[in-house]
Amino acid sequence: MNTRSMTRTAAGIAAVGLAAGMLAGCSADNGDTPQEPGGDAEQITLTWWHNATSDPLQGLWEDVAAEFEAMHEGLTIEVTGYQNEDLQRTLIPNALVSGNAPDVFMVWPGGEVRSQAEAGHLRDLSSLTDTIDALGASVNPWQLDGVQYGLPYTFGATGIWYNTEQYAEAGITAPPTTLAELEDAVAKLQAAGFTPFSVGAGDGWPAGHWWYQFAIGACGQAVLQTAIPELDFSDPCWVTAGEQLEAFVASDPFNSGFLATPLRPAPTAPRASSPTATPRPSSWARGTRASSDRSRRTRPCRSGSAGIPSPPPAATPS
């Protein structure tokens, strides 16, 4: 693993416009001091793994790498895109353990950063103060004990896309903003013959986002900030969140067979043969949805403390 220019590379990549997600750098394992390529310096190759497997994002990252190479003579960046879950769950963990990890890679915040940093796999990027200060509080999920291990290139809120035509036909004049309003909307959509929500729970994580939002709403930020790093889930709010989600699922709000359904691209979710009023992607689906003619009749909404219309900390089901 070549880590000679990692600090400068991380700073440079941020400077030339990686404007969305999270970059982490592998830690140096040989004590080398990073040096700038060019002049009489040796040729340096850096590897970069990301999660874009199609355009426009895949082409954008290739352009960014080419631009950075042009700024630094003697530097070559090998850029490879992988499917997101394969990258995070299999490829990166295996590469880190093998000692042959990429120099720069994308990583989820939270537990992944903690475990990788504690194992000594990640480089301390805290010296990139100008970039960190410019990004503000969005860098916090990639910090551990005050040390910065990654830099986000995008930051988006979870939410829902709703079908304006189906909502209007069901008599819903505005997106729900509380749990009670959400439950009322579900009932109205079902009465109008629509499936209220679609979710590809067969892939696991899409269903997990429903649990996250109920937990955020029931527990609040202060509890989350303490409970997650310490793995302390003794607060009764966690049980409350589970009970609220259980009650919501019991109202049959999801597509038939949702537990076995894989995630589908957001624009294909509302289909005439299986009408779905509210697919449940987030900001990652914005580009895909915008390219579809279905975008003319769908809108994003974000309301309540939990991103989806879910209970604020003090709310209880009605």
**Whole-structure pTM value:** 0.65
Task: For the beta carbon of residue 171, count every other beta carbon within 10 angstroms.
Answer: 11
Does the pLDDT at position 7 exceed 50? no
* Beta strands 276-279; 195-198: pairing state: parallel
Q: What is the pLDDT at residue 227?
A: 87
Tokens of 278: 């509210």
Tokens of 161: 């896309």
Residue 173 and residue 291 in one domain? yes
Residue 174 and residue 139 in one domain? no
Mean pLDDT confidence for 71-100: 93
Tokens of 50: 């990301």
What's at 219, amino acid-wise? C
Residue 178: phi and psi, rounded to 5, are -135, 165
Distance CA 287, CA 293 (A): 12
Task: Give the contacts of 298 (CB within 8 A, at least 6 positions apart).
Answer: 161, 162, 163, 164, 270, 279, 289
Distance CA 106, CA 114 (A): 14
Residue 40 and residue 109 in one domain? yes
Residue 143 and residue 68 in one domain? yes
What's at 148, amino acid-wise? Q
- Mean pLDDT is highest, among 99-103, 199-203, 228-232, for 99-103
Q: What is the pLDDT of residues 18-33, one digit of tens each?
A: 323 456 666 655 444 4
Domain range for 193 is 160-301
Q: What is the pLDDT at residue 40?
A: 59
Domain count, the chain: 2
Task: For the beta carbon of residue 247, count every other beta carbon within 10 angstroms.
Answer: 12
Average pLDDT, whole number, for the chain?
A: 76
Q: Is 191 helix (H, G, I), strand (E, B) or coil?
A: helix
Is 228 inside a domain boundary?
Answer: yes
Residue 11 and residue 143 in one domain? yes
Is 190 inside a domain boundary?
Answer: yes
Residue 22 and residue 90 in one domain? yes
Does the pLDDT at position 194 exceed 80? yes
More confident residue, 79 or 39: 79
Residue 166 and residue 203 in one domain? yes
Residue 106 and residue 169 in one domain? no
Q: Which of 201, 220, 315, 218 is nearest to 259 (CA)?
A: 201
Distance CA 118, CA 129 (A): 22
The answer to whether 238 and 215 have CB atoms below 8 angstroms apart is yes
Percentage of the chain lying above the pLDDT 90 cut:
43
Q: Which of 219, 313, 20 is nearest to 138 (CA)?
A: 20
Q: What is the pLDDT of residues 93-102, one digit of tens each?
A: 999 999 999 9
Angle 206-210-213 from CA coordinates, rounded to 5°: 130
Q: Is 111 helix (H, G, I), strand (E, B) or coil?
A: helix
Residue 138 and residue 21 in one domain? yes
- Whichever domain contains 85, its CATH number is 3.40.190.10
Q: What is the pLDDT at residue 110?
A: 78
Residue 237 and residue 273 in one domain? yes
Mean pLDDT confidence for 236-244: 95
Please compute Rg for the chain using Cα positions.
Answer: 22
Q: What is the pLDDT at residue 308?
A: 38
Mean pLDDT confidence for 84-109: 92
Is 256 inside a domain boundary?
Answer: yes
What's at 258, amino acid-wise? F
